[in-house]
Structure 1
Amino acid sequence: MADTTFRRGDQVEWDSHGGTARGTVEKKLTERTHAGKRTVDASPEEPQYLVRSEKSGRTAVHKPSALRRISD
């Protein structure tokens, strides 16, 4: 099973409409909040991650299962 715990600064990738996107984890979200242009129902038991795309510079929120760590 893949590691689905990430920390600020981790380089990750995810599937997007145009293929694979890459970015950096900015924050672990553990409570209901507004981020990435939407309301996020995150909790300590089901956290989500705010990531910044390296291509667009915009932020988005993803569940840990959608992210993959990039190995250098």
Structure 2
Amino acid sequence: MPKACAKPFHRGDHVSWNSEAGRVRGHILRVHTKDVDYKGYTHHATADDPQYEIKSDKTDHVALHRGRALRRLKH
């Protein structure tokens, strides 16, 4: 069973994550607690292990990540 994030993230939180281009920053748009189809791929999510929909600060790119891939940034 996947380990849940100790402190869940919420809509509006400012977070960062690793991408192929390096560290990216963005804000959480939505928290998905059920499977979601995005860009032709099903992202599995549960209430205990949600997927976070995040919009990049620089490029407006939207990505989905689990909480364990994210780091909360200070305001």
TM-score (normalised: structure 2): 0.84
Q: Where does structure 1 differ by over 6 angstroms across 4 or more consecutive aligned residues? A: none
Q: Residue deviations 1:29-49, cap 9 Å, x none?
A: 0001113x2311111121110
Structure-2 separation of matches of 1:3 and 1:55: 28
Q: How many residues align?
A: 70
**Unmatched runs of 5 consecutive residues or more in structure 2:** none
Q: Tell me how far apart the structure 2 counterparts of residues 26 and 4 of structure 1 sit (CA, whole Å).
A: 17
2:32 maps to 1:29:
yes
Alpha-carbon distance change, 43 to 3 in structure 1, aligned in 2, over 3 angstroms? closer
RMSD between superposed Cα atoms in Å: 1.5
